[in-house]
Structures are given as C-alpha cells and as structure tokens.
Amino acid sequence: MALENGQKPEDKAELAAVTKPTDWTIVVLRVVAFFATVTATVVMASNKETKSLVVAPPISVTLTAKFQHNPANVYFVIANGIASLHNVFMIVVHFFGDKFKDKGLQLVMVAVLDMMIVALVSSGDGAATFMAELGKKGNSHARWNKICDKFEKYCDRGGGAIISSYIGLLFLLVITVLSIIKLLKRN
Amino acid sequence: MTQTRRIFTFVLRLLALAATVSATIVMVTSHDSTRVLNLTFKAKFSDSPTFMYFVIVEAIVSGYNLIILLLSSKGSLWRIVIILDVVAALLLTSSMSAALAIGQVAKKGNTHAGWLPICGQVSKFCNHVNGALVAGILAAIFYYVLNLFTLYNALNPLFVVKPS
C-alpha cells in the first residue's frame, strides 16, 4: 500500500480515516498494559515490612525488609516505571500522531521502541521472579536462608507486583506483534 | 543490495547461534568443589533453578535458531519467524537478567537478607558462570541487532517512495 506519486492528498486522508477505527484494539491494549505496569511499579515501590523481634525482654531488634535491599527489585521498579511512561507516550502518539509527516518512519519507530520496552520489562521480570523464588525457598547448597517465612506480607506484595508485571509484559508482547504486523502490512 | 542483506542476516543468526550454544555448554559444564575444614562445598549449575532456567532457555533458542538457519530458503514463513524472533529475544533477556541477579548475590551477598557471598569458596564455579553470562549477553545483543535489522529491512521499501 505504498503511496505512489500520482495519488492525491485527499486519497491519503481517506486512507488514514479508513484505518483509524480498527486501531482501537491497540489503544485498549496499551491502556491495559499501562495499568498493569503502573500497578507493578507502585506495589513494588511501596513494599516495606517491619518486624520487631524480642531478643531478651528489655532489648528488641527491629528488622526491616525494604524493596531497595534487593537490587533486582530496584531494577524491576525502574523497568516498569519506564514501561509505564512508554505506554503513556505511545497512547499520546497514537492520538496525535497524524501530524507526523513520515508514516513509515513513525511505524518503524513504534515497533522498535515496543520491542525495546518488551526487552526491558522481560529482564526486570526475570530478575525479580528468581530473586523472589530465592527468598521463598532459599538455597540450601549456598546456605542462603529463605526470608518469606518471617516477612510474609513483603513476599506477598512482591509476588503481586511481579504477577501484575507479567500481565503487562504479555500485553506489551501482543502490542509489539500487532505493531510489527502493521509495519509489515505497509510493505 | 538484497544479497548483502541476506548475507548479513545469515551471519548475525550464525553469531547468535554460536553465542547461545556456547552459553549453554559453558553453564552446563560449570561445577566446583572445595574442602574447607572437612566440609565440602559443592557448587553445580543445577543447584540454582535460575541457572537451570538459563540453560533451558539458551538450549531452546539454539534449537530454534538452528531450525531457522536450515529452513532459511522457505519464503512463506518469514512473518512467523519475525514474531518468534521477538519472543526468543524476550526469553533470552529474561534468562540473562535472572542469572545476572543471582550471580550478583553470589558474588556480593546480601547483608539485609543474611545471604553470604559464595564466590570466595567456589571461585572456579563463579568464573565459569561469568563466562556463560557473557555469552548469554552477547547472544541477547546479537538477537536484538537481528530484530532491528529485520524491522529496518521491512521498512526499506517504503523509504524508496516518500509521500509528498
């Protein structure tokens, strides 16, 4: 469907008007992905649990589990934050992108950026998942004790954030595939 | 022009295949045991589910890459190949980042969780895993360059005819 030199600008506007109603699927998917990644970021960033253990009657030790203690979780928060911003940016571009002159370049930039964000979110998810698994089960070979039996709420919240991020990742993957299909259809 | 593109894609796939295969092999052959005060510290890659996941993903992507290299002459499957390439890149990044996270805990420990670093005792294992991770990172990079190149190729015909 490449634009030939003989085609008039009115036909181009008609083409744009015809393709617009079918693009609502991608916008809805992006909104859902946005909510998923924002939930993941916020839930993980607010993940904190404090416990006081009484060592001897007058002395009590306060132990805190914060998400920052684990660099994988920090990366998870950063990756999902960037993904949320990307989703917002893409929704804005979708509605106001008709003013962009070079449609082909816009499509390829959208596809490439979507792919990059899928990479970012998948790496954040992978690291956080396996860190959470280590915290839940420990590793007897390395003599690393599990921490989830002491900090249940922390682990539950972290798990919820990771699940939400996986949902976001799934939607982002579908969006990437759709963007690539759109790019290939222009071919 | 298309001939150089095809050669470049083929070379990239070959490099990615080499990287994933070497990552798998290096990780599978990593094991070490030391004796400290009559206690034996044994470290194998299968002790950690993360490294098992790493090996499985790299093996799957190697197999997929090999199949695609052998079938590269078929013209009708290229759309599915592009999408599967994106999925493969996703799997590679997630496995590499998970292994990196666990490796970082092994190297530096985590004082907040009471996890001691183990690289001091089993340094050969740590170096081996390091090598496997480097190969995994290279594989991910090659895969992404391949994907970007494929997308750039899909766009190229449009560049020829610009809308006035």
pLDDT in tens, B104-124: 888 888 888 778 888 877 888
| Residues forming beta bridges with residue B34, ordered by sequence position | B41
Q: What is the pTM of this model?
A: 0.82
Taking every pair of Cα atoms in chain B, the longest distance, rounded to a whole number of angstroms, is 80
**Would you say residue B24 lies in a domain?**
yes
- Per-domain residue ranges for chain A? 23-186
Which residues on B lie below 8 Å from A12 (Cβ)? Answer: 163
CA separation for the pair B128, A49 (Å, rounded): 37
* Chain A residues 2-21 with CB within 8 Å of chain B: 2-5, 12
The three-state secondary structure class of A89 is helix
For residue B155, what pLDDT is reported? 61
DSSP B115: B
The confidence score (pLDDT) of residue B105 equals 87
Contacts of B164 in chain A (CB under 8 A): 5
Answer yes or no: is pLDDT of B125 > 90: no
Q: Mean pLDDT, chain A, as a whole number? A: 82
* Residue B12 · residue B146 · CB < 8 Å: yes
Parent domain of B134: 1-31+39-154
What is the average pLDDT across A62-67?
82
Inter-residue contact A183 to B155 (CB < 8 Å):
yes
Q: Which of A113, A115, A40, A132 is nearest to A80 (CA)?
A: A40
Q: Which of B34, B155, B161, B164 to mutate to test the interface with A (most CBs of A within 10 A)?
A: B155
Is the CB of residue B102 less than 8 Å from the CB of residue B91? Answer: no
**Residue of B33, B96, B108, B110 to mutate for A, most A C-beta atoms under 10 A:** B110
Report d(CA B86, CA A176) in Å as an integer.
Answer: 9
pLDDT for res B163:
34
Say if B161 falls within a structural domain: no
Q: Residue B18 class from Cβ within 10 Å (0-12 exposed, 13-18 middle, 19+ buried)? A: middle
Task: Say if residues A45 and A22 touch (Cβ distance below 8 Å).
Answer: no
Taking only the tens place, the pLDDT of each residue in B83-102 is 888 999 999 999 999 999 99
- Per-residue pLDDT band at B156 (split at 50, 70, 90): low
pLDDT at A131 over 50: yes
Distance CA(A49)–CA(A135), nearest Å, equals 14
- Which helix (DSSP H) or strand (DSSP E) does residue B128 occupy? helix B123-160
Q: What is the pLDDT of residue A185?
A: 77
What average pLDDT does the segment A5-17 reach? 50
Q: What percent of chain A has pLDDT over 90?
A: 34
Q: Is the pLDDT of residue A1 over 50?
A: no
Q: Is A61 on the interface with B (CB under 8 A)?
A: no
Q: What share of chain A is helix, strand, coil (3-state, %, to 5)?
A: 75, 10, 15
Q: Is the pLDDT of residue B74 over 70?
A: no
Query: Between chains, do B115 and A71 touch, taking CB under 8 Å as contact?
Result: no
Which ipTM score applies to this complex? 0.82
Residue A139 has a pLDDT of: 81
Higher pLDDT, B164 or B141: B141
| Domain-embedded: residue B88 | yes
A·B CB contacts under 8 A: 139
Nearest CA in chain B to A119: B90
- pLDDT greater than 50 at residue A7: no
Residue B158: pLDDT band (50, 70, 90) is: very low
> Could you give the number of structural domains in chain B?
1
Q: Is residue B143 in a domain?
A: yes
Evaluate if residue A17 carries a pLDDT over 70.
no
**A 85-104 residues inside an 8 A Cβ radius of B:** 101-104
Question: pLDDT band at residue B76, thresholds of 50, 70 and 90?
Answer: low
Q: Tell which of B105, B107, B108, B133 to mutate to test the A interface (max A CBs under 10 Å).
A: B105
Facing residues of A144 across strands? A139
Which residues of chain B make contact with A184, given a CB cutoff of 8 A?
79, 82, 154
Q: How far is CA A43 from the centre of its chain?
A: 13
Asked if the Cβ–Cβ distance from A183 to B94 is below 8 Å, we say: no
Tell whether A62 lies on the interface with B, counting CB pairs under 8 A.
no
In a domain, B160, yes or no: no
Pairwise CB contact (< 8 Å): A183 & B86: no
pLDDT value at residue A137: 86
pLDDT given for residue A57 in this prediction: 76
Strand extents, DSSP E, chain A: 48-56, 59-66
Rounded Cα gap, residues A147 and A127, in angstroms: 17
Mean pLDDT of A12-22: 49
pLDDT in tens, A73-104: 999 999 999 999 999 999 888 888 777 777 77
φ and ψ at residue B140, rounded to 5 degrees: -60, -45
Looking at B44-119, list the stretches that DSSP marks H as alpha helix, in order from N- to C-terminal side: 49-70, 78-108
